[in-house]
Amino acid sequence: MPTRNSPDLLVIGAGVVGAACAYYAARRGLHVTVLDRGSVAGGTTGAGEGNLLVSDKEPGPELRLALYSTQLWRELAVVLPSRIEYEAKGGLVVASEEKGLSALREFAARQTEAGVTAEVVPGGRLRELEPHLAPGLAGGVHYPQDAQVQPALAAAHLLRAAGDRVSLRLGEEVTAILTGAQGEVRGVRTPSGDLHAPYVVNAAGTWGGELARLAGVQLPVRPRRGFVLVTEPLPRLVRRKVYAADYVADVASDSAALQTSAVVEGTPAGPVLIGASRERVGFDRSLSVEALSRLAGQAVRLFPVLATVRAVRTYAGFRPYLPDHLPAIGPDPRRPGLLHACGHEGAGIGLAPATGRIIAETLTDGELPLDITPFRPDRFGGGEA
């Protein structure tokens, strides 16, 4: 039973999305307990590059969410200066041939109509933006709104900035969702006991489908594995986030097979990060030499200077993939008191503030910043699991 000391809200997942939910809910006056079976940013967040992108998104609901989140990240960078390594460095998407550049121009024109700032850059000017790019590229598009944060720091400092309205319970796995006589959420069960609250937020990332099943509802979240290569520390060879045009197609693909498209970026600490691969192999963390070899080769084709640079480590993570490539955000009508904030695939870090703000406004009857109908958790059909 709820007590006077029970929180208003339980957030399951201490990644950046869960942290943003807790932060904005606390700002609205709610008391929040965040639970995670691991550590802060111990899952997908800790394996991310920290991308805050609008450049890779088709006009539509996800782009609207990304543009709003971009605004919120700028505000957070003022509240949490330097602590989250926020860099408004912009992105550069390049094409090796004229056909690819023509497709980029058309894509950018549609994005511009939707509110994105995009500048077409002819091949002869690319090296003004990135001096170490390979010569002979046809051209590209510069996106000044793209940015980056250090994702684990962002999650940790969002939770810290929420103050004493947020409490953390790490190393606690949720084993059941408690419900009342009418099927409404009443809290969660963990090995150390029951926690009661009238609302539970599913911010469990790749395991969001499993948590939904504990609540008796269906949400088809599946893992999509990706690798990142990390180089030795270097002078700032890569100024922006640079990637090849085929990355956009890979993001939108439904294929389960291995896909790689180089995304190359420098970091304030010196190492260059090289992604991105995608494949659906369940939760298999096995090292894929093929994926890493492809990424390295594609990165060198973009930046020949990297051919003599050492890769010092690699890491893998799992993107929480939903079939229509849109996250599940908001209340679940099948289970009163249950809200979802998961399924963001590779965009969770970028979309975290907007997601957290939507959850907080929903819980406090505030004004929603945009239409969340496309993100309805029950849109895939099926009732209770």
Q: Looking at residue 293, what is its pLDDT?
A: 94
Average pLDDT in the chain: 94
Q: Which residues pair with 261 in a beta bridge?
A: none
pLDDT value of residue 81? 76
Does position 199 have pLDDT exceeding 50, yes or no?
Answer: yes
Residue linked to tokens 């994005």:
111
Residue 373, classed as helix, strand or coil, is helix
> Which among 37, 299, 49, 16 is positioned nearest to 157, based on CA atoms?
16
Helix H or strand E segment including 340? strand 338-342
Percent of the chain having pLDDT more than 90?
A: 88
Type of residue numbered 357: R
> Tokens 């298999």 identify what position?
284
Element (H, E) at 209: helix 208-214
Amino acid type, 229: L
Give SS3 for 222: strand
pLDDT band with cut points at 50, 70 and 90 for residue 1: very low
Model pLDDT, residue 304: 97
- What does the pLDDT look like over 329-347, one tens digit per residue? 999 999 999 999 999 999 9
Query: Rounded distance, CA 294 to CA 302, Å?
Result: 13
Q: Which domains does the chain have, with CATH numbers?
A: 9-48+152-221+324-375 (3.50.50.60), 91-144 (no CATH), 222-320 (3.30.9.10)
Phi, psi of 232 (to 5 degrees): -60, 155
**Residue whose C-alpha is closest to residue 108's, from 61, 73, 56, 64:** 56
User: Do 234 and 270 form a contact (C-beta atoms < 8 A)?
Assistant: yes
Residue 178 contacts residue 196 (beta carbons within 8 Å)? yes
The DSSP code sequence of 122-166 is: EGGGHHHH-TTSPTT--EEEEETT-EE--HHHHHHHHHHHTGGGE
Question: Percent of the chain at pLDDT above 70?
Answer: 96
What are the E-state strand segments in the chain?
9-12, 32-36, 51-52, 91-95, 119-122, 139-143, 147-148, 166-170, 176-179, 185-190, 193-196, 200-202, 222-231, 241-244, 259-266, 272-278, 311-321, 328-331, 338-342
pLDDT in tens, 31-59: 999 999 999 999 999 998 899 999 999 99
Per-residue pLDDT band for 257 (boundaries 50, 70, 90) equals confident
Residue 164 pLDDT:
96
pLDDT tens, position by position, 162-192: 999 999 999 999 999 999 999 999 999 999 9
